[in-house]
Every structure is written in structure tokens, then in C-alpha cells.
Amino acid sequence: MLQGCVPWPEEAAARYRAAGYWRGEVLGGLTAETAKSDPGRIAIVAGGRRHTYAEVNERADRLAAGLHALGVRAGDRVVVQLPNSVEFVVLCLALFRLGAPPVLALPAHRRSEIGYLCSLTEAVAYVCPDVVQGFDYREMAREIGRDAPGLRHVLVAGDPAGFRSLDEVAEAVPAELPAPDPGEVAFFLLSGGTTGLPKLIPRTHDDYAFQIRATAEAMGFDENGVYLAALPIAHNAALGCPGVLGALRAGGTAVLAGSPSPDEVFPLIAREGVTLTTLMPAFLPLWLDLADLFDVDLSNLVIEVGGAKLQPEIAARVRPELGATLTHWFGMAEGLLCFTRPQDPPEAPVHTQGRPLCPDDEMRVVDEDGRDVPAGAVGELIARGPCLLRGYYRAPEYNERAFTPDGYLRTGDLVSLTERGELVVEGRIKDVVNRGGEKVPAEEVEEHLLAHPAVRDVAVVAVPDRALGEKTCAVVVAAAGAEPPTLGGLRDFVQARGLAEYKLPDRLRFVDALPRTSIGKIDKVTLRRRFADRADPAQRR
Ligand code: OOB
């Protein structure tokens, strides 16, 4: 396995193979079979264009050859930051074929995150779009390039402005390439639940092929299925649950949208006959309120909702008001998936996040000392299984804390299990703000805020928000003698340091000193409680 990754113990790997979870499938081959048996079938619909299996498959072959000609080799890492587009999918297939794992950054990431990913992974290439929503990724690439000596190529989808055009690389003549080992890392996902700087999750061909196959089966998604990707496909939820990759593996169609906003997706759902999609809970009220304005029949649609707390009263409205089938998900990029099945009774997704994907997913609920809590009680969820990593990439010290000695991931989520083994998410102990499904690592933001001359001390905590569930509040101890910082000033400051916009603080509160626990850690429980109801005066009306 790629250096810096932690393999599963041989005993577990043998068990997962014997049980038929890991079948030696490689992700580069996802489109190959359908491209041969039914070349004219539509694989991807994006930006109003339809792309056949034959086209997508051939473009991936050409791009793999072109990247190889540039010197990209098996084991090299490539940071990929593209919006939902056919280029994104073709590039991933090409890199899977080469065995050069893409590191999937989110479109919202900026200099701080991308620069860090490039240096952590010693990436040989960074692939970005030209300009999206007024943001010029090429300018950012120029800045990053200065600090990343190992970065040999910047490839641009669109106008390359002095860099190399991705399209041009994709003009190469397809070449025979050795198939990668299915036990190898196929790509890296970013963790949404770790502390400090972003952590990388290695996903192998074997484990992800199992995830997309088994989730497709559970959702009843086959070659007649049409999956709508309305969330960024760099995120596990839209990439592979079964997502775009699962849709391609099944021989179905993936429709790529730029956002889950009703005016964009409802016409697409109607026109393309979408059967499955994924949403974060924050968008569901909008769908419920606006669906009537669009003449769209959702009775054949299954919606997967997860990533953040879904309010039961919103969940209960889905079937009666939209006519669609709701499935409720607890997912992690780390590889644990629990969800209610479409055929479960309608009340199941209202109250629980369902059962794990795999019968061999081992989930335990433990107390602070790591002892199993009594049945039904709340504790931290720890888990291991055929999709669950055994270590973050190049993070040996962090891994010591993040995993138990026998390989269970400490999820940092507080849960309980129902008598029937269904998961109920009850809270969280990890220091993350879940901002409508986008995860903001508090420590990472605190470090940037601490660099501000008017900030002596700071704690970033979650405060309740009606629309997003949670927002980010910076609790600041102002530096003596300095003009106290303003929220706008702090946001500009952190943004200028290259942090993604969704991580900028939403609120600012001042204290004379941060409360500490008996062992000297910042007492965030007290801070959260103290500022919860004062966060948004509009909410109290
Ligand atoms: C999904 O994945 P990530 O990696 O962005 O975030 C994982 C974390 C979990 O550890 C948990 O804290 C939170 O997101 N979460 C939920 C939740 N589902 C995830 N918190 C409350 N209720 C839920 N239902 O978010 C993700 C990956 C695949 C599918 C769906 C979501």
C-alpha cells in the first residue's frame, strides 16, 4: 500500500475478500463494460450536454495516456479541484487507471487548504478550473506553485492562461497501461470530522468498489437508474453512495448539477427522469416549500438526506408533501455508512439513521473510558469494517488518538442504538462546527484568528442556526490596548490568509477570559451554552 497509509491487518483483509466484499475490482474500469456492450448509452448529463459511455470511456483512456506522457506515474498524487463536470469524472477515471490517486478538494477550498494538500501529499500536479463565480483559480495556482516545489504541473479545465490546458492533455493516443492493484489507494477524500489541519482518507479500489456496489443495491439503483449530483461530487455523499461512480458502475446515468437549488434541480429531475439524489438537510425545507411551483412528479424519486442533523418534523413532511421516498443517512468520508432503506416503514427515516451498509461493519457505543455502554444508552460511536480506514494519510501521531489499538475509528459522534440496531445520532464530542453539512474544524479557524494582532485568545464554537442547523461563533479575548476587532475585519483577515469562505466566523462575541476545564482545556461546552441563545437575535422573536 502507498507509503503513509495504514493497511488493514491481513486477517481482516482475508475475511473481507472471503465474504465477497472485496472482489479485486478497480475503479478505472467503471465505464469499460457498458462502453463495450452499449456504447451509445448516456453516462453523464452535464451543462446541457449528454455524454455517452463510449465517449467518457475513450476520453478517460486518452487523458490517462496524456498524463502518463507528462510523467504522472502510479503512486503519484494529484490534487483535483473541479466543479461538478464531465471533466471531473473523466479525470478521476484517468487517474484511477494510472494508479495515481487524486486528492479530492472541494471547490470552496482556497490557498490555505490547497497549498497544504499539495505539500502534505507532495502532489506532482494540481488540476483546477479557470474562473468560477468570479474566483480565478489560476491566480491561486500561481501563488501555490511558489511554495510547492514538487508541483510539476498545473492543468486547467478551460482557459489555461499560461498553464497547460487539460483538454490538450486529453488529446493523446490511448496507450496500454498496467492495471493498478485493487488493494491500492484509488483516491483520497478529505475528512470532515478531524481536528486541526485537514486529514486525508485513503480509499482503496477494493473498498470503494464495494461501497458503490452495495449502496446501489440497497437503493435499488440499476442500469435504469438516473442519479442527480446536486452536491459537490468531490464529497463522498455525491461521489459514491452510490453517487456518480455507483451510477456509472451500474450502467445508469449521472446528471451533474451546480447546486441543489430548486430552480436548477427540479427542471432537471423532470427532464431526465431522476430516480435518486442526495441532499444535506439544510436544503430540504426549500425543496418542501418550493416544489409546488414546479410541475414535477417526484413519486419515483428516492432522496438520501444526511451529513448533519435532520429535524424529525422536516423528515416527516417529505413523503406527504413531495411524494418522494426519504432515506436518512449517517455518513462519513472515513467509510462508515448507516442509512434507512427505501422499503423501511415511513417512520424509520424520521427517527433514526438506519442500519450499517455491511453486515461486517462492527459498531460499538462506548463511554469515556472506552467501555461499552448499556444497550440504548448514549456514548461515542467507534467502528471498523471493510470500508473503514485504519489510519489517516501521513498522520501517525494523530492516528494514535483517532483509533483504538484494535483498529476501531473513534468517530467523535455521540449516538445510541435502538433495539433493532438502528443508529440515532445524539450529538458530537469532536471539535467541529457542522455548518449545514459543511464541516468547519474549530482549531484550524482558531489558529488563523490567533494570528490577528487584536486577538489575544479565541475559541470557535457552534451556535444554533435555523437555516443551517449550526453556525460558527468566534469567542474572542481582545488584546489589551488594541482596538477590538470587528466581525467583518476578522472575516477579511482570515479570508486573506486563504481560508475557504465557509470556514469564516459567522458571529463574534467577546469575553474577558476563556473558561477552562480542570485540566486547562478551553471549556467549549460552557461557551456553547452561554452563547447558544444569544447568537442570533432574529431567532428569538
Ligand atoms: C458526510 O460525511 P463527512 O465526512 O462530511 O462528515 C461526517 C460527519 C459525521 O462524523 C457526523 O459528525 C456528521 O458528519 N454527520 C451527521 C449525520 N451524518 C453525518 N450528523 C448528524 N446527523 C447525520 N445524519 O457528511 C456524509 C458522507 C456520506 C453520506 C452522507 C453524509
Test site for ligand 1: of 310, 334, 413, 468, most ligand atoms within 8 A of the Cβ: 413
Q: How many CB atoms lie within 10 A of CB 259?
A: 13
User: Do you find a cis peptide bond into 242, omega within 30 degrees of 0?
Assistant: yes
Q: What's the CA-to-centroid distance between 434 and ligand 1, angstroms?
A: 9
**Closest protein CA for atom 14 of ligand 1:** 307
Residue from 514, 512, 507 nearest 532 by CA: 507
The grid coordinates of residue 479 equal 488584546
Q: What's the CA-to-centroid distance between 308 and ligand 1, angstroms?
A: 6
The residue ranges of DSSP E strands in 253-316, in sequence order, are 253-256, 276-279, 302-306
Residue from 446, 466, 459 nearest 509 by CA: 459
Q: What's the CA-to-centroid distance between 540 and ligand 1, angstroms?
A: 28
Residue 424 to residue 203: CA distance in whole angstroms: 26
Q: What's the CA-to-centroid distance between 218 and ligand 1, angstroms?
A: 19
Q: What's the CA-to-centroid distance between 515 and ligand 1, angstroms?
A: 29
Q: Which residues line ligand 1 (CB under 6 A)?
A: 192-193, 236-237, 241, 306-310, 329-333, 353, 411, 413, 425, 428, 434, 437, 439
Q: Which fold has domain 27-36+49-181?
A: Rossmann fold (3.40.50)
Q: How far is CA 155 from the centre of its chain?
A: 23
User: Closest ligand 1 atom, CA of 334?
Assistant: 4
- DSSP H helical ranges for 333-418: 348-351, 396-402
Q: Which fold has domain 432-539?
A: GMP Synthetase; Chain A, domain 3 (3.30.300)
Test site for ligand 1: of 239, 304, 355, 439, most ligand atoms within 8 A of the Cβ: 439
Is residue 306 within 8 Å of 439, Cβ to Cβ?
no
**Closest protein CA for atom 26 of ligand 1:** 331
pLDDT digits (tens, 9 = 90+) for 507-541: 999 999 999 999 999 999 999 999 997 544 544 43
The grid coordinates of residue 353 equal 439513521
For the structural domain made of 358-428, what CATH number should be given?
Answer: 2.30.38.10
The SS3 call for residue 464 is strand
Residue from 511, 505, 508, 498 nearest 471 by CA: 505
The SS3 call for residue 465 is strand
Domain chopping of the chain, boundaries: 27-36+49-181, 358-428, 432-539
Residues whose CB is less than 8 angstroms from the CB of residue 325 and which lie 6 or more positions away in sequence, other chains included? 301, 302, 303, 318, 319, 342
Residue 384 to residue 390: CA distance in whole angstroms: 8
Q: Which residues in the chain land under pLDDT 50? A: 535-536, 538-541
Query: What is the per-residue DSSP string for 133-197?
Result: TTEEHHHHHHHHHHH-TT--EEEEES--TTSEEHHHHTTSPP---PPPPTTSEEEEEE-SS-SSS
Q: What's the CA-to-centroid distance between 94 and ligand 1, angstroms?
A: 28
80: amino acid identity, one letter: V
Is residue 509 within 8 Å of 475, Cβ to Cβ?
yes
* Residue that the C-alpha cell 481560508 belongs to: 499
| Helix, strand, coil share of the chain (percent; to 5) | 35, 25, 40
**pTM, to two decimals:** 0.97
pLDDT of residue 541: 36
Residue 329 to residue 237: CA distance in whole angstroms: 9
283: amino acid identity, one letter: F
The SS3 call for residue 374 is coil
Residue 86 to residue 106: CA distance in whole angstroms: 16
Is residue 141 within 8 Å of 276, Cβ to Cβ?
no
Residue from 368, 367, 378, 371 nearest 415 by CA: 378
Q: What's the CA-to-centroid distance between 399 and ligand 1, angstroms?
A: 20
